[in-house]
Amino acid sequence: MISIIMATYNGSHYLKEQLESIANQTIKPEEIVIVDDCSADNTIEIIENFKRNNKGFSIKLILNEKNMGPALSFAKGVLESKGDFIFFCDQDDIWFENKIEEVLTIFKNNPKIKMLCTGYYLYDDKNKKVIKDSQNSGEVFEVSLSKVLKGNISPGCTVAFSGIYRDKAKLINERIFIHDWFYSIISAVDSGLYYYCKPLIYYRIHSNNTIGKNLSFYPKYSREKRIKSIERHIQFYEELISLNIFNDKNSKEIGNMVNELIEINHIRLNLLNSDIGYVSYLNKIYNLKNNINIKSV
Task: Kindly report, residue by residue over 93-125, the tens digit of the pLDDT.
Answer: 999 999 999 999 999 999 999 999 999 998 887
* Cβ atoms of residues 168 and 79 within 8 Å: no
Full set of structural domains in the chain with CATH: 2-206 (3.90.550.10), 216-296 (no CATH)
Q: Is the pLDDT of residue 296 over 50?
A: no
Cα 116 to Cα 43: distance, rounded to the nearest angstrom:
29
Backbone angles phi, psi at 207, to 5 degrees: -65, -20
- The pLDDT value recorded for residue 124 is 81
- The pLDDT value recorded for residue 202 is 93
Span 131-150, mean pLDDT? 87
Task: Kindly report, residue by residue over 176-205, the tens digit of the pLDDT.
Answer: 999 999 999 999 999 999 999 999 999 998
Q: Residue 290: beta bridge partners?
A: none
Q: Is the pLDDT of residue 242 over 80?
A: yes
* Cβ atoms of residues 151 and 187 within 8 Å: no
Q: Is the pLDDT of residue 282 over 70?
A: no
Q: Which residues contact 254 (CB under 8 A, 6 or more apart)?
A: 145, 149, 246
Span 33-53, mean pLDDT? 97
Cα 184 to Cα 75: distance, rounded to the nearest angstrom:
14
* Cβ atoms of residues 231 and 175 within 8 Å: no
What does the radius of gyration of the chain's CA atoms come to, in whole angstroms? 19
Cα 76 to Cα 73: distance, rounded to the nearest angstrom:
5
